[in-house]
Amino acid sequence: MKLSISEKFRDPDLVRSLVEELQSWEKPVKLMEVCGSHTMAIGHWGLRKLLPSSITLLSGPGCPVCVTPYSVIDSIMNLKDVTIATFGDLIRVPGRNGSLEQSRARGLDVRIVYSPFDALEMAKKKETVFIGIGFETTSPGVAYTIKQAAEKKIKNFSVLPAFKIIPPALEALADDKDVSIDAFILPGHVSAILGSEPYRVLSEKYRTGGVVTGFEPLDILNGIRMLLRQIQEKDPRIEIEYKWVVHKDGNPQAKAILDEIFTVEDSLWRGIGKINRSGLTIRDEFSDYNALKKYNLTLPEKDDFDKGCRCGDVLKGKIIPKECPLFKVKCTPENPIGACMVSSEGSCAAYYKYEE
């Protein structure tokens, strides 16, 4: 019987062989899985439990909902007589004045969409603002939606730009003296757009290696093996394990639409702070579709985090979720204090669901 692709990547004999090889590793190392999808996959497949105690996997800032500041949520709640469209996870993230879900219960017109094009369709009937969060994976689709709105002269549509760029955040972590990371498990989805070249600064400037991996058990375990080989050889470099999806130069069409619609700016990351040139905003040529300008909204320069919540330290890999004093005590999926517990890709949600 011919095995499916997913069955091949979950082959128990191959997994067992890789795990046995990894079990022989003795030197303590800390590897950060940047992407929230990796964190969920690692939890789902129980991979942490298969590794020796010498290999520590830390979660990183690769969850777009988790790093969206309070101010984005708070600013949008003041809009009246508009439809607010958002991806699902963001609706439950607490701002200073409650969540969008709570505001919807009080009468705010908030709707969950699966694509920015859904929001564009809504705009044909009513003024609509789409909350633009996400990394390089989702931002090209939003950029194309803005371009379509401009070409079709749909004036009732705008985007609140809160997009993030992954490589500058990783460089900030590599440059942080309080953070100890030996190598990065790099995100597959983001890298399908960017390619591997933007990560080279990690190995060339900071002597920290990285491997782009997929999300199946064999992908992740093989990526870990490749990182350990780099560490053993003292030769940090950027490699691609996920070669059937990710190419060195990424997706040129997606990168072109990003450059056409967006420009790079400094950006505030919830729980982490401002990171230079780590965000995308809408170019002046398309300012009619920038909700910040259309509604004269301002986002604060600083974003104080939840008192007692250590989500920021989790996103930096300084602690694991269960080291936060609120984890499972005050902060649960039913009563989330921080965004890391809200998001389906949040590290606290992953630990709560799988690691406990």
125-177 pLDDT, tens digit each: 999 999 999 999 999 999 999 999 999 999 999 999 999 999 999 999 999 99
Q: What is the pLDDT of residues 212-237, one digit of tens each?
A: 999 999 999 999 999 999 999 999 99
Residue 3 has pLDDT above 70, yes or no: no
Q: What is the pLDDT of residues 164-217, one digit of tens each?
A: 999 999 999 999 999 999 999 999 999 999 999 999 999 999 999 999 999 999
Query: How far apart are the two ends of the chain, measured CA to CA in Å?
Result: 37
**Structure-block tokens of residue 319:** 């602690």
* Residue 270 near residue 68, CB atoms below 8 Å: yes
Degrees, nearest 5: CA angle 354-226-197: 100
Domain boundaries of the chain, sorted by first residue: 1-356
* Residue 269 near residue 69, CB atoms below 8 Å: yes
Superfamily of domain 1-356, CATH level 4: HypD, alpha/beta domain 2 (3.40.50.11740)
**Structure-block tokens of residue 138:** 């989702």
Strands (E), the chain: 29-35, 55-62, 83-86, 110-112, 128-134, 157-164, 183-186, 209-212, 238-240, 262-269, 273-282
159 phi and psi angles, rounded to 5 deg? -125, 130
- Global pTM reads 0.93
- DSSP-H helix ranges across 64-136: 70-76, 100-105, 116-122
Cα separation, 254 vs 248, whole angstroms: 14
Under DSSP, is residue 44 helix (H, G, I), strand (E, B) or coil? helix
